[in-house]
Amino acid sequence: MLKATHAVIKSVAQKLSLTEHEVEGLLAVDAAHEFEVSTTTGKKFPAWRIQHSKKRGPYKGGIRFHPNVSRTEVQALATLMSLKTAAVNLPLGGGKGGVSVDPKSLTEQELEEISRDYAKKLTPHIGPDVDVPAPDVNTNPKIIDWMADEYAKQTGDKTNASFTGKSLKAGGSAGRDAATGRGGVIVLSEVLNSAGIDNKEVRIAVQGFGNVGAFFATVAAIDRPNWKVVAASDSGATLTDEDGLAVADLAAFKNDRGSFRDYSMAEVSGPEAVLSADVDVLVLAALDGAVNSDNQSEVRARYILELANGPVTDKAADALTERGVTIIPDIVANAGGVTVSYFEWLQNKNNEKWTEEKVNKKLAEYLIPATTAMLEMAKIKEVSLKEAAMMVAIERLLAA
Ligand code: NAD
């Protein structure tokens, strides 16, 4: 992943005629903290926090708990965070953290212990104006609340601005749950608008109906009456209805029953079927590498919205672009989450509490210009939207 991330940066840098020194600066990290977290039951796990760049503001990025977490993965994700915050023009830098652990193998008490130990060991290197971590894969508001509480215990900090993604009662922001999905709706709308098709019927398939996919579909159903979600999948099944799926029903069913497999109000097929749905837009909100060299030829959509991180492999992206498919890249498409994290941090620092309406309005104020900047760059440089988003971000990082 790190090699692929560096390769993309180098290739974009070449098109921007950057010097070797500038490229080295983009690839280097400011600091890599490597340590061990442990439980009172004697379990130990390797842990990292990598701070890539604070040229534009405090390091920002999630903490991942997963057995496959490695130093190089964390470094790649930290680098991508610097690009994402710059692509959306947030006054933040990029960082990422992780613990190589399977949280399912831990008791609740052990989970709390490693979360607190992680925050305690990082305390000298983070803080509201230095590095503000957030949740990522397998971490959630409960875990972040423990970490923020531990940081406050260690430092006496009262701002609550040391971590974002906290529960509402611990200083979290309204609108954070829906932010990534809602952001996807805003970005897709701008792209379709620029192509002159936002006011026509737009048929959509959504892969992954978790937090991001379900909120994307729910917000789209309310805010964009001309968009129709005709296919949706989870890890067990794809549901299809040519007349449009009842999105609110699906979300409730998934909450109750956990899987789409037993849903009876639509056609049910295997989870892979969503990729070949006959739609205008394929929304990828499940896994990295979901569209790859083996299955890219099945995609029939003209647009792909990358709501997951890296859901289209680089090779597949080249083949799809050649076929005329427009891929709306993750660093802009799924930036709604980090944008509302930024709003949470601002609210905590200024002791404010914004309404959900204000959060949603401000989200659009960041994502619309970010999408426009990407579209304009793509036109000027005659490159893909992914390269264009990277170019916008890299130029901002170099100017900082
Ligand atoms: P989640 O765990 O809530 O949901 C993931 C969904 O994907 C689940 O419904 C699961 O059933 C489904 N899934 C898994 N394998 C599948 C398969 N083979 N086919 C179809 N569906 C499958 O996770 P989430 O928070 O919704 O995140 C989804 C993606 O978005 C992840 O890649 C995450 O890193 C990325 N992301 C999330 C946020 C955020 O704010 N949550 C922000 C930026 C990026």
- Testing ligand 1's pocket by substitution, the residue of 1, 77, 235 carrying the most ligand atoms inside 8 A of its CB is 235
Strand order in the sheet with 202-207: 267-269, 238-240, 227-233, 202-207, 281-284, 303-306, 326-328
Nearest CA to ligand 1 atom 18: 235
Distance between CA 342 and CA 335 in Å, rounded?
11
From the CA of 137, give the closest atom in ligand 1: 34
- Take atom 3 of ligand 1 and give the residue whose Cα is closest: 210
C-alpha closest to that of 354 among 334, 340, 335: 340
> For 296-322, how does the pLDDT look when each residue is reduced to its tens digit (9 = 90+)?
999 999 999 999 999 999 999 999 999
Is the predicted pLDDT of residue 96 greater than 80, yes or no? Answer: yes
Q: In what order do the strands lie in the sheet with 59-65?
A: 31-38, 44-53, 94-99, 59-65, 131-135
Q: pLDDT digit string (tens) for 111-124?
A: 999 999 999 999 99
Active-site residue list = 96
Find the 291 Cα to ligand 1 centroid distance in Å.
14
pLDDT of residue 391: 98
Pocket probe for ligand 1: among 211, 219, 338, the residue whose CB has the most ligand atoms within 8 Å is: 211
Which ligand 1 atom sits closest to the C-alpha of 238? Answer: 20
Distance, CA 152 to ligand 1 centroid (Å)?
31
- pLDDT category of residue 227 using cuts at 50, 70 and 90: very high
Give the Cα separation of 120 and 122 in Å (integer): 5
Q: How many CB atoms lie within 10 A of CB 79?
A: 27
199 pLDDT exceeds 80?
A: no
pLDDT at 276 over 90: yes
Closest CA to 36 of 100, 90, 82, 102: 100
| Stronger pLDDT, 398 or 1, i.e. the higher one | 398
Please give the share of the chain, as a percent, with pLDDT higher than 90: 98
Ligand 1 mean position to 203 CA, how many Å?
Answer: 21
For ligand 1, pick from 88, 287, 312 the residue to mutate: most ligand atoms within 8 Å of CB. Answer: 287
Question: What separation in Å is there between the alpha carbon of 259 and the centre of ligand 1?
Answer: 14
Tell whether the torsion through CA atoms of 389, 392, 397 and 400 is positive or negative. Answer: negative
Tokens of 233: 């999948």
Q: Are strands 238-240 and 227-233 parallel, antiparallel or unpaired?
A: antiparallel
Q: Quick check: 67 pLDDT over 80?
A: yes
Task: Say if CB 383 and CB 316 are below 8 A apart.
Answer: no
Res. 26: pLDDT tops 90: yes
Distance 383 CA to ligand 1 centre (A): 28
**Which residue type does 225 have?**
P
Atom of ligand 1 nearest to the CA of 286: 7
Distance 217 CA to ligand 1 centre (A): 13
Atom nearest to 307 CA in ligand 1 = 30
Q: Closest residue (by CA) to atom 27 of ligand 1?
A: 212
Please check the confidence at residue 200 and state whether its pLDDT lies above 90.
no
- How many angstroms is it from 353 CA to the middle of ligand 1? 28
Give ligand 1 pocket residues (Cβ under 6 A). 137, 180, 207-213, 233-235, 271, 285-287, 307-309, 334, 337
CA–CA distance, 111 with 118 (Å, rounded to integer)? 11
- pLDDT, residue 377, reads 98
Which residue CA neighbors atom 14 of ligand 1 most closely? 235
318-355 pLDDT, tens digit per residue, is 999 999 999 999 999 999 999 999 999 999 999 999 99
What residue owns the CA closest to ligand 1's atom 16? 235
- pLDDT, position 53: 98
Instruction: Compute how many other C-beta atoms are within 10 angstroms of the C-beta atom of residue 123.
Output: 18
State the Cα–Cα distance between residues 287 and 275, nearest whole angstrom.
13
The reported pLDDT for the residue numbered 197 is: 85
Alpha helix positions (H), the chain: 2-15, 20-27, 71-87, 108-122, 141-155, 176-194, 211-223, 247-257, 314-322, 330-333, 336-350, 356-381, 385-399
CA distance 242 to 136: 34
